[in-house]
A and B are shown apart, each in its own frame.
Chain A
Amino acid sequence: MSTAVHPNSPPAKSDGGRADDLASARLDRRTLLLASGAAVLGLGGLALARRAWRDSTSTFVAAGQRYDGTLVQTIRDGLAACDLDTRALRGRRVLLKPNLVEPDRSAPHVTTHPAMVLAAAEVFRGFGAEVVVGEAPGHVRDTEIALLNSGLGEALAGAELRFADLNYEPVRWVKNAGGQSPLAGFHFPQSIVEADLVVSMPKMKTHHWVGITGAMKNLYGTLPGIKYGWPKNVLHFAGIPQTVVDINASLPKTIAIVDGITCMEGDGPIMGSPKEMGLVVIGTNSTAVDATLARMMQVDPRQISYLALAEHRLGPLCPKRIEQRGERWQHHVDPFQILDVPHLRGLRQDQGEKVSHLVPPVMPALPGRCPGLARTMRGTC
Chain B
Amino acid sequence: MNYRDRILDRLAAARVWGYHADQPAASEPTATAALALSCAGRDAAARAALDWLVRVQGKDGSVGVTATEALPAWPTALAVLAFAAAGNRYDGRRQLGVDHLLSIRGTPVDRNEQMGHDSTLVGWPWVLPTHSWSEPTALALLALRAAGHGRHPRADEATRLLVDRLLPAGGSNYGNTRVLNQMLRPHVMPTGVVLWALADRQAADSRIGLSLDFLTTELEVPTSAVALGYSVLALAAHGRDLGVARRAYQEVAARHLQQPAASPWKLAVLALAALEMEPSSSLRRPTQVIAEGASS
Decide if B3 is an interface residue (CB 8 Å cutoff): no
A187: min CB distance to chain B, Å: 8
A1/B135 in contact, CB under 8 A: no
- In the complex, chain A residues whose CB is within 8 Å of the CB of B74: 229
- In the complex, chain B residues whose CB is within 8 Å of the CB of A102: 185, 187
Decide if B58 is an interface residue (CB 8 Å cutoff): yes
Instruction: Kindly state the separation between the CA atoms of A225 and B28 in the bound complex, as whole angstroms.
Output: 13
- In the complex, chain A residues whose CB is within 8 Å of the CB of B113: 360-362, 364
Decide if B104 is an interface residue (CB 8 Å cutoff): no
- In the complex, chain B residues whose CB is within 8 Å of the CB of A9: 16, 24-25
B109/A379 in contact, CB under 8 A: yes
Contact with A along B201-224 (1 / 0, CB 8 A): 000000000000000000001111
B67/A229 in contact, CB under 8 A: no
Decide if A81 is an interface residue (CB 8 Å cutoff): no
A128: min CB distance to chain B, Å: 25
Partner of A227, one of B15, B125, B127, B174: B127
A238: min CB distance to chain B, Å: 10
Contacts known (A168-B23, A380-B176); A6 close to B67, Cβ less than 8 A: yes
Decide if B131 is an interface residue (CB 8 Å cutoff): yes
Decide if B130 is an interface residue (CB 8 Å cutoff): yes
Partner of A364, one of B114, B173, B184: B114
A4/B185 in contact, CB under 8 A: no
B126/A230 in contact, CB under 8 A: yes
B70, B131, B173: which has the most chain A beta carbons within 10 Å? Answer: B131
Decide if B89 is an interface residue (CB 8 Å cutoff): no
In A1-57, the 8 Å CB interface with B consists of: 1-6, 8-10
Decide if B180 is an interface residue (CB 8 Å cutoff): yes
B101: min CB distance to chain A, Å: 16
In chain A, what residue has the closest Cβ to B67?
A5
B131/A208 in contact, CB under 8 A: no
Instruction: Kindly state the separation between the CA atoms of A4 and B56 in the bound complex, as whole angstroms.
Output: 6
Contacts known (A227-B65, A230-B133); A168 close to B20, Cβ less than 8 A: yes
A358/B180 in contact, CB under 8 A: yes
B16/A1 in contact, CB under 8 A: no
Decide if B32 is an interface residue (CB 8 Å cutoff): no
B114/A2 in contact, CB under 8 A: no
Contact with A along B173-184 (1 / 0, CB 8 A): 110100111101
Contacts known (A6-B16, A9-B24, A237-B130); A145 close to B115, Cβ less than 8 A: no
- In the complex, chain B residues whose CB is within 8 Å of the CB of A236: 130
What are the 5 A-B residue pairs with the smallest beta carbon separation, nearest first?
A229-B126, A358-B181, A144-B224, A4-B55, A168-B19
In chain A, what residue has the closest Cβ to B75?
A226
Partner of A267, one of B66, B130, B180: B180
**Chain B binding surface, main DSSP class:** loop
A9, A148, A171, A357: which has the most chain B beta carbons within 10 Å? Answer: A9
B179/A208 in contact, CB under 8 A: yes
Contacts known (A145-B224, A374-B114); A271 close to B184, Cβ less than 8 A: yes
Instruction: Kindly state the separation between the CA atoms of A358 and B112 in the bound complex, as whole angstroms.
Output: 14
Instruction: Kindly state the separation between the CA atoms of A231 and B72 in the bound complex, as whole angstroms.
Output: 14
A298: min CB distance to chain B, Å: 21
Contacts known (A227-B65, A379-B109, A380-B176); A2 close to B58, Cβ less than 8 A: yes
Given contacts A3-B67, A6-B52, 12 further A-B contacts (CB under 8 A): A6-B16, A6-B67, A141-B135, A169-B23, A227-B65, A228-B126, A229-B125, A230-B135, A233-B127, A234-B127, A270-B184, A380-B117
Would you list 10 pairs from A and B whose C-beta atoms are within 8 A, ordered by A residue? A3-B67, A5-B25, A145-B224, A148-B224, A170-B24, A230-B133, A233-B125, A233-B131, A357-B182, A364-B113
Contact with A along B17-30 (1 / 0, CB 8 A): 00110011110001
B180/A1 in contact, CB under 8 A: no
Decide if A307 is an interface residue (CB 8 Å cutoff): no
Contact with B along A338-367 (1 / 0, CB 8 A): 010100000000000000011011101010
A2/B224 in contact, CB under 8 A: no
A362: min CB distance to chain B, Å: 7
- In the complex, chain B residues whose CB is within 8 Å of the CB of A227: 65, 69, 72, 127
Contacts known (A2-B57, A357-B182, A358-B180); A376 close to B25, Cβ less than 8 A: no
Q: Chain A residues in contact with chain B, CB under 8 A?
A: 1-6, 8-10, 102, 104-105, 139-142, 144-145, 148, 165, 168-171, 187, 208, 225-231, 233-234, 236-237, 267, 270-271, 339, 341, 357-358, 360-362, 364, 366, 374, 376-377, 379-381
A270, A357, A379: which has the most chain B beta carbons within 10 Å? Answer: A379
Instruction: Kindly state the separation between the CA atoms of A358 and B109 in the bound complex, as whole angstroms.
Output: 21
B189/A379 in contact, CB under 8 A: no
Instruction: Kindly state the separation between the CA atoms of A74 and B266 in the bound complex, as whole angstroms.
Output: 39
A376/B125 in contact, CB under 8 A: no
Contact with A along B120-152 (1 / 0, CB 8 A): 000001110111010100000000000000000
Decide if B64 is an interface residue (CB 8 Å cutoff): yes
In chain A, what residue has the closest Cβ to B111?
A376
B193: min CB distance to chain A, Å: 10
- In the complex, chain B residues whose CB is within 8 Å of the CB of A233: 125-127, 130-131, 133
Decide if B227 is an interface residue (CB 8 Å cutoff): yes
Instruction: Kindly state the separation between the CA atoms of A157 and B295 in the bound complex, as whole angstroms.
Output: 47
- In the complex, chain B residues whose CB is within 8 Å of the CB of A2: 55-58, 67
Decide if B62 is an interface residue (CB 8 Å cutoff): yes
- In the complex, chain B residues whose CB is within 8 Å of the CB of A270: 184-185
A339/B180 in contact, CB under 8 A: yes
Instruction: Kindly state the separation between the CA atoms of A187 and B19 in the bound complex, as whole angstroms.
Output: 17
- In the complex, chain B residues whose CB is within 8 Å of the CB of A170: 23-24, 66
Decide if B225 is an interface residue (CB 8 Å cutoff): yes
A376/B114 in contact, CB under 8 A: yes
A144/B225 in contact, CB under 8 A: yes
